[in-house]
Amino acid sequence: MLQKIQETASFLRSKIDVIPDIAVILGTGLGELAHEISDKKEIPYEEIPNFPVSTVEGHSGKLIFGQLGGKPVLAMQGRFHYYEGYTMREVTFPVRVFQALGIRYLFVSNAAGGMNGSFDIGDIMLIDDHINVFPEHPLRGKNYKELGTRFPDMSEAYSKDLRLMAMAIAKESNIKLQHGVYVGTQGPTFETPAEYNWFRIMGGDAVGMSTVPEVIVANHAGMKVLAFSIITDLGVIGKIVEVTHEDVQEAAKIAQPKMAYIMQEVIKRIK
Ligand code: HPA
């Protein structure tokens, strides 16, 4: 595993001049931020050694190196979901490569179902914390001490400093920003009404099928994390309607410029 990570990191180092400090994972329907990146160099996942092979032909995604908010960044357009059949090590492999490159900040976005009664479709939720209900833990198995400690602390999985920055930016720009707890679940089914209710009682404000594995590994790797959910449907009693992947993509598309703005401003202000 360590050798594969190093091999992939060396390959990427050979392709770029500047190694960024910041990586961004773009979620479902949230690829627009990539248009804001200038001086782009794109590398399709198929060309990257050891990167997981896509389950959907022609839709595997790419890494984008470039400038965002005046800083060099590395963006992942398209992520690997557990429901696609990847192992947790595969889902989180890119984050290990970011670690090997020396990346210190991970920004993440996703689409999620809202369970908090005060949320509306199209809201942006800053993730304060998460609850991991995936059936497998990304750090299960041998711990490589070169990568991190056996029992990582998770008391501030989402950096407080970065969250405060994001909240200040939203306030200055009059962008409505909700915040709350993200429940990470395996999917691929959306929740039954009883499951949404269970996740809400558990302490969740939004639920989705990603992010938690990558954020756990980023924390193990000592990175600072900032993450946002776009609320694309509601799992609130009385407001639950049938939901499709297309609905999720459509709602994400509408909200994403605001989220992209906040992310870009945070990038400008860090360090
Ligand atoms: N549940 C799980 N994942 C999701 C949802 C949802 O309601 N919406 C977007 N991703």
Tell me, what CATH number does 187's domain have? 3.40.50.1580
Which mutation among 191, 237, 241, 249 tests ligand 1's pocket best, with the greatest number of atoms within 8 A of CB? 191
pLDDT tens profile 85-133: 999 999 999 999 999 999 999 999 999 999 999 999 999 999 999 999 9
pLDDT tens profile 152-162: 999 999 999 99
The model's pTM: 0.95
pLDDT at 146: 95
Question: Considering the chain, what is the average pLDDT of its residues?
Answer: 93
The mean pLDDT of 168-181, rounded to a whole number, is: 97
pLDDT at 266 over 90: yes
pLDDT at 32: 79
β-strands 62-68, 124-132 pairing: unpaired
- Give the count of beta carbons closer than 10 Å to the beta carbon of residue 168: 14
Residue nearest to atom 3 of ligand 1 (CA): 208
The mean pLDDT of 195-212, rounded to a whole number, is: 97
The mean pLDDT of 10-32, rounded to a whole number, is: 89
Residue nearest to atom 2 of ligand 1 (CA): 208
Contacts 24+ apart (CB under 8 A), 200-205: 200/115, 200/116, 200/235, 202/131, 203/131, 204/115, 204/131, 204/180, 205/114, 205/115, 205/116, 205/119, 205/125, 205/178, 205/179, 205/180, 205/181
Range of the domain at 211: 2-269
pLDDT tens profile 29-41: 677 788 889 999 9
pLDDT-based confidence at 194, cuts 50/70/90?
very high
Number of domains in the chain: 1
pLDDT at 244: 86
pLDDT-based confidence at 192, cuts 50/70/90?
very high
pLDDT at 33: 85
pLDDT tens profile 204-261: 999 999 999 999 999 999 999 999 999 999 998 888 788 888 888 888 888 889 999 9
Which mutation among 127, 232, 247 tests ligand 1's pocket best, with the greatest number of atoms within 8 A of CB? 232
20-45 b/e with 16+ CB inside 10 Å = b? Answer: bbbbbbbbbbbbebbebbeeeeebeb
Q: How far is the CA of 117 from the centre of ligand 1 (A)?
A: 16
**CA–CA distance, 239 with 121 (Å, rounded to integer):** 11
Q: How far is the CA of 160 from the centre of ligand 1 (A)?
A: 25
* Structure-model confidence comparison of residues 185 and 59, the more confident one: 185
pLDDT at 151 over 80: yes
Q: Counting Cβ atoms within 10 Å, is residue 198 exposed (0-12), middle (13-18) or buried (19+)?
A: middle
Residues lining ligand 1, Cβ inside 6 A: 111-113, 187, 190-191, 207-209, 232-233, 235, 248
